Amino acid sequence: MRRVDLADGAIAGAVGSTALNVVSYLDVALRARPESSVPGETVDRLAGIAHVNLGSGARAANRRSGLGPLIGYGLGIAAGVAFALYAGGRRQPLPVATGLLGAGVMTMTDGSITALGISDPRTWRRSDWISDIIPHLAYGLTAAATWNRLRRPSDRGR
Protein backbone atom coordinates (compact mmCIF):
# COMPACT_ATOMS: atom_id res chain seq x y z
CA MET A 1 0.00 0.00 0.00
CA ARG A 2 1.44 3.33 -1.03
CA ARG A 3 1.00 6.45 1.08
CA VAL A 4 -0.54 8.17 -1.92
CA ASP A 5 -3.29 5.53 -1.91
CA LEU A 6 -4.12 6.32 1.72
CA ALA A 7 -4.10 10.04 0.93
CA ASP A 8 -6.39 9.43 -2.03
CA GLY A 9 -8.71 7.48 0.28
CA ALA A 10 -8.77 10.43 2.67
CA ILE A 11 -9.52 12.80 -0.21
CA ALA A 12 -12.31 10.54 -1.47
CA GLY A 13 -13.73 10.38 2.07
CA ALA A 14 -13.64 14.18 2.39
CA VAL A 15 -15.39 14.63 -0.96
CA GLY A 16 -17.98 12.04 0.06
CA SER A 17 -18.52 13.83 3.38
CA THR A 18 -19.11 17.09 1.56
CA ALA A 19 -21.70 15.43 -0.68
CA LEU A 20 -23.40 13.87 2.35
CA ASN A 21 -23.67 17.29 3.99
CA VAL A 22 -24.97 18.96 0.83
CA VAL A 23 -27.69 16.34 0.42
CA SER A 24 -28.57 16.54 4.13
CA TYR A 25 -28.87 20.34 4.05
CA LEU A 26 -30.93 20.18 0.85
CA ASP A 27 -33.28 17.82 2.69
CA VAL A 28 -33.50 20.30 5.58
CA ALA A 29 -34.28 23.13 3.15
CA LEU A 30 -36.73 21.26 0.93
CA ARG A 31 -38.73 19.63 3.72
CA ALA A 32 -38.31 22.56 6.12
CA ARG A 33 -37.25 20.12 8.80
CA PRO A 34 -34.94 20.98 11.68
CA GLU A 35 -31.27 20.09 11.54
CA SER A 36 -30.29 16.91 13.32
CA SER A 37 -29.35 17.22 16.97
CA VAL A 38 -27.25 14.05 16.74
CA PRO A 39 -23.88 15.76 16.02
CA GLY A 40 -24.22 17.99 19.08
CA GLU A 41 -25.37 15.10 21.24
CA THR A 42 -22.40 13.07 20.03
CA VAL A 43 -20.05 15.85 21.07
CA ASP A 44 -21.70 15.98 24.50
CA ARG A 45 -21.39 12.22 25.01
CA LEU A 46 -17.78 12.08 23.82
CA ALA A 47 -16.83 15.10 25.94
CA GLY A 48 -18.40 13.39 28.94
CA ILE A 49 -16.51 10.16 28.28
CA ALA A 50 -13.24 12.10 27.88
CA HIS A 51 -13.99 14.32 30.90
CA VAL A 52 -13.71 17.45 28.75
CA ASN A 53 -15.64 20.52 29.84
CA LEU A 54 -17.21 22.28 26.84
CA GLY A 55 -18.05 25.31 28.95
CA SER A 56 -21.54 26.58 29.50
CA GLY A 57 -24.25 28.44 27.62
CA ALA A 58 -23.30 29.92 24.28
CA ARG A 59 -19.67 28.77 24.50
CA ALA A 60 -20.72 25.11 24.86
CA ALA A 61 -23.32 25.47 22.09
CA ASN A 62 -20.72 27.00 19.77
CA ARG A 63 -18.27 24.20 20.52
CA ARG A 64 -20.97 21.61 19.82
CA SER A 65 -21.85 23.23 16.50
CA GLY A 66 -18.18 23.28 15.49
CA LEU A 67 -17.12 19.87 16.75
CA GLY A 68 -20.20 17.93 15.59
CA PRO A 69 -19.53 18.36 11.87
CA LEU A 70 -15.81 17.77 12.40
CA ILE A 71 -16.59 14.38 13.92
CA GLY A 72 -18.69 13.59 10.84
CA TYR A 73 -15.86 14.59 8.51
CA GLY A 74 -13.46 12.51 10.59
CA LEU A 75 -15.67 9.43 10.21
CA GLY A 76 -16.04 10.06 6.48
CA ILE A 77 -12.30 10.47 5.98
CA ALA A 78 -11.57 7.38 8.08
CA ALA A 79 -14.02 5.37 5.94
CA GLY A 80 -12.22 6.59 2.81
CA VAL A 81 -8.86 5.48 4.21
CA ALA A 82 -10.33 2.09 5.18
CA PHE A 83 -11.67 1.76 1.64
CA ALA A 84 -8.20 2.53 0.25
CA LEU A 85 -6.82 -0.34 2.32
CA TYR A 86 -9.54 -2.63 0.99
CA ALA A 87 -9.11 -1.51 -2.62
CA GLY A 88 -5.37 -2.04 -2.61
CA GLY A 89 -4.81 1.02 -4.74
CA ARG A 90 -6.97 -0.26 -7.60
CA ARG A 91 -10.03 1.21 -9.22
CA GLN A 92 -13.24 -0.51 -8.13
CA PRO A 93 -16.54 -1.10 -9.93
CA LEU A 94 -18.62 1.98 -9.15
CA PRO A 95 -21.77 0.16 -7.92
CA VAL A 96 -19.77 -2.08 -5.58
CA ALA A 97 -17.62 0.76 -4.27
CA THR A 98 -20.69 2.98 -3.80
CA GLY A 99 -22.39 0.31 -1.73
CA LEU A 100 -19.31 -0.48 0.35
CA LEU A 101 -18.50 3.14 1.09
CA GLY A 102 -22.10 4.24 1.68
CA ALA A 103 -22.98 1.27 3.87
CA GLY A 104 -19.63 1.43 5.63
CA VAL A 105 -19.89 5.05 6.69
CA MET A 106 -23.57 4.62 7.56
CA THR A 107 -22.70 1.66 9.77
CA MET A 108 -19.93 3.65 11.46
CA THR A 109 -22.24 6.60 12.07
CA ASP A 110 -25.35 4.72 13.14
CA GLY A 111 -23.29 2.25 15.15
CA SER A 112 -21.55 5.00 17.06
CA ILE A 113 -24.76 6.84 17.94
CA THR A 114 -26.29 3.54 19.04
CA ALA A 115 -23.24 2.66 21.15
CA LEU A 116 -23.31 6.13 22.72
CA GLY A 117 -27.02 5.73 23.54
CA ILE A 118 -28.04 8.73 21.42
CA SER A 119 -30.48 6.92 19.16
CA ASP A 120 -31.77 3.45 18.42
CA PRO A 121 -32.21 2.81 14.68
CA ARG A 122 -34.64 -0.01 15.50
CA THR A 123 -37.16 2.66 16.53
CA TRP A 124 -36.80 4.82 13.41
CA ARG A 125 -39.70 5.46 11.04
CA ARG A 126 -39.43 5.00 7.30
CA SER A 127 -38.86 8.74 6.79
CA ASP A 128 -35.99 8.61 9.30
CA TRP A 129 -34.36 5.77 7.37
CA ILE A 130 -34.78 7.59 4.06
CA SER A 131 -33.24 10.73 5.58
CA ASP A 132 -30.30 8.56 6.64
CA ILE A 133 -29.85 6.34 3.59
CA ILE A 134 -29.97 8.93 0.81
CA PRO A 135 -27.12 11.14 2.13
CA HIS A 136 -25.03 8.05 2.82
CA LEU A 137 -25.59 6.85 -0.75
CA ALA A 138 -24.46 10.30 -1.93
CA TYR A 139 -21.36 9.83 0.22
CA GLY A 140 -20.72 6.40 -1.28
CA LEU A 141 -21.21 7.49 -4.88
CA THR A 142 -19.05 10.61 -4.71
CA ALA A 143 -16.34 8.94 -2.63
CA ALA A 144 -16.22 5.97 -5.01
CA ALA A 145 -16.17 8.17 -8.11
CA THR A 146 -13.44 10.32 -6.58
CA TRP A 147 -11.38 7.25 -5.65
CA ASN A 148 -11.62 5.88 -9.17
CA ARG A 149 -10.85 9.28 -10.71
CA LEU A 150 -7.70 9.61 -8.59
CA ARG A 151 -6.35 6.27 -9.83
CA ARG A 152 -3.73 6.68 -12.54
CA PRO A 153 -4.35 4.77 -15.77
CA SER A 154 -1.54 2.39 -14.83
CA ASP A 155 -3.44 1.58 -11.57
CA ARG A 156 -6.41 0.20 -13.46
CA GLY A 157 -4.93 -3.19 -14.06
CA ARG A 158 -2.68 -3.73 -11.07
Q: Number of folded domains in the chain?
A: 1
d(CA 116, CA 133): 20
- Helices 3-31 and 126-150 pack at an angle, to 10 degrees, of 150
pLDDT in tens, 71-81: 999 999 999 99
Residue 1 lies in a domain: no
For 27, counting Cβ atoms within 10 Å of its Cβ (0-12 exposed, 13-18 middle, 19+ buried), the class is middle
- Domain residues for the domain of 144 are 6-149
- pLDDT given at position 152: 76
* Mean pLDDT, residues 28-43: 93
- pLDDT given at position 102: 98
pLDDT in tens, 142-153: 999 999 999 977
- pLDDT given at position 8: 97
154 falls in which pLDDT band (50, 70, 90)?
Answer: low
Residue 122 lies in a domain: yes
* Mean pLDDT, residues 31-55: 94
Share of the chain above pLDDT 70, in %: 96
pTM, entire model = 0.91
Residue 34 lies in a domain: yes
- pLDDT given at position 4: 87
Share of the chain above pLDDT 90, in %: 90
Residue 156 has pLDDT above 80, yes or no: no
- pLDDT given at position 40: 94
Residue 156 lies in a domain: no
pLDDT in tens, 7-33: 999 999 999 999 999 999 999 999 999
Task: Kindly give, in sequence order, each residue whose CB lies less than 8 Å from that of residue 101, ignoring residues fewer than 6 positions away.
Answer: 12, 16, 79, 80, 83, 139, 140, 143, 144
* Mean pLDDT, residues 118-129: 94
Residue 31 lies in a domain: yes
